[in-house]
A and B are shown apart, each in its own frame.
Chain A
Amino acid sequence: MLLTAVEGLAYGGLYALLGLGFFLTYGVLRRIDLAYGTVVMTSVYLGAMMVGGLGLPWVGVLALTLVVGIPLSLLVAYLAFVLVRQDARFSMAATLGIWMVLEELMLQSPGRGRGQAIVNPLQDLSWWPWGLQIRIDHMVILGLALAVAGLLTRFLTRSRTGLAIRVSAYDASVAALLGISHARMMVLATVIASAVGCVAGWSFAMAQSGIDLHFGMWATVKGLVILVLGGTQSIALIVTAAIGLGVAERVGSELIGSGYRDLVGYGLILALLAVEPFLRPGETRFGDSR
């Protein structure tokens, strides 16, 4: 059971990276972007496909993922949140359309939707404290997630640019009064959210030694679960929720069977949403839901 909990901790690191990308998109930018996971999947998938085809070294996947992912995220943001902006529902529907198009394009790409292998240079390295096997790559990912969380917290709360992004996302007219370029801040925040998502996707794919098309939907659903569990008010809560989810899922699957592992997260989300209005009436962990 202890080994399972430690494994869960490692998955928590992956979830935390994913949750941070969602935190930036939903919490800071206040966008309901259902294509987020698919954009990440598309970027990693194309990166892996190109690296496999061209015979590039393993770090090439991350570089290509970022090269594809960031412009793609900016395109999604422009289409769904700049050109379509009358109603948040319309923007959400547009991201749904983008999700469908991207996923199908990957299905018809030269990879034909088949899983793409990704080299994991740390795959066979393990650490054995007290007889427990801890994979080094999992610990690296957990460390990476904590480092990204720390940097993001510092950036958003201490730096002028970070504060400008938050003001701009909260109220564009207030930002304009303060001389902040709303468009520039939104582009910057989108780039950061996309980069974090790409790193998360790449880390996950590397830990699994490959990626397939299911990752997009899985990442979106998992990211939403973490977001609901952690709320959109604090990065620390997102990381805690992600790590908690990782541990709960692994331990849960040990207790109720691996077939029902995902039910742990979905059960938690439903339970939390159900009791939330009673715990704090009139207030949600999502804050202002404009």
Chain B
Amino acid sequence: MSYWFTIASLTGINVLLAYSVYASFMSGQVSIGQVAFFGVGAYVGASLTVLGGFDLASAVMAGGFAGAAASLFVGVPTLRLKGYHFTIATVAFAEAMRVVLHNLKYGRPRSSGNVGDQWLGPDGATGFRHISYLNDHSISTGQYAVIVWLIVAVVVVAFFLVERSRIARILRTIEEDEVVARSIGVPVARYKVAAFACGGFIAGISGALYAHLLTFISGNDFIIHLSTIALAYVVIGGGQTMWGPLIGAIIFTVLPETLRPIREFRIELFGLLIILVMLFRPAGMISAAMVRRWGVALTSKAGAKPPRKAP
């Protein structure tokens, strides 16, 4: 059962990562750098519990803020640029951050431990070991899965509310045509940066949760492939509605676990699905029109009067 609770936690973390991509995707920006904010969140969150003695909630929040700060660092100067400069900048930032995390060394010696394993904190290429908060505080994998999914629920509700607000309409207008958005007085850069920072915050939170779940992280965990997979969740699930990233991340995390024989081909399956979706259903599995139809069907069903019986 512990295995499935771990899968449940990983699914929740992937859902968060997908929403971090979706936040800027709403305004038409494609970020391949979410893994950098994920990594920053992971290192900050783990450092706070392991070295600073912080509680998990504070560490996860701090991871989120660190992710948001990193996203502002790259987003503020580059989101004003036209075309795909932004995407390229996020690629460069992700790779730069991987190099930094791979070489990072700080912390203190451990009082116990085998030879070569006596460092508490990130130890360069060896990675960051002994993130043992869950074990030290007797938090079971089941309890951790509940914590992760509570955070996922908060994020899903937040996106549900945002999607029905003026903010979402503005972001979608920016996505459709920036010039039109600017002509009606929308501060385009501010909205794009804010959306990107929200994405960075969510990625940072998911990174901190990931570090505590795995108990060991290293710079090589945060390669650009993770970003591309997160983008795949959004693209396959559907980038027009907030349900897309949720469905995409759940299906493509759980499916390879349930169908063991295809697990080895998970990445091919992802890649193939992206190509097929882009060819035949660019809006993704769940489109905005589909959600509208479901909404209409649900409200009409709820509001419909029972048919009168013939006298």
Contacts and interface: CB of A to CB of B under 8 A. Distances in A.
Interface residues of A, number: 50
Contact of A101 (B225, B235, B271): B271
B99 A259 contact: yes
Contacts of B80: 277
A227 B85 CA distance: 10
A284 B271 contact: no
Interface stretch (A121-129, A138-146, A187-195, A262-270): A262-270
Interface residues of B, number: 44
Contacts of B267: 100-101, 103-104
A89 B85 contact: no
Interface string B84-104: 110111011101100110110
A105 to B, nearest CB: 7
B92 A90 contact: no
B282 A225 contact: no
Nearest to B84: A32
B77 A273 contact: yes
Contacts of A225: 92
A84 interface: yes
Contacts of A97: 232, 270-275, 278
Contacts of A103: 267
B87 A266 contact: no
Given A103-B267, A263-B96, A277-B80, A94 B278 contact: yes
Given A101-B272, A266-B92, A284 B103 contact: no
Contact of A104 (B93, B124, B271): B271
Given A263-B96, A266-B95, A273-B77, A93 B278 contact: yes
The 5 A-B pairs with the shortest beta carbon distances in the complex, nearest first, are A289-B83, A97-B274, A100-B271, A274-B77, A266-B96
20 contacts: A79-B279, A87-B282, A93-B235, A94-B278, A97-B274, A99-B271, A100-B268, A101-B275, A103-B267, A104-B267, A217-B225, A228-B85, A228-B92, A259-B99, A259-B124, A265-B92, A267-B96, A270-B93, A274-B77, A286-B84
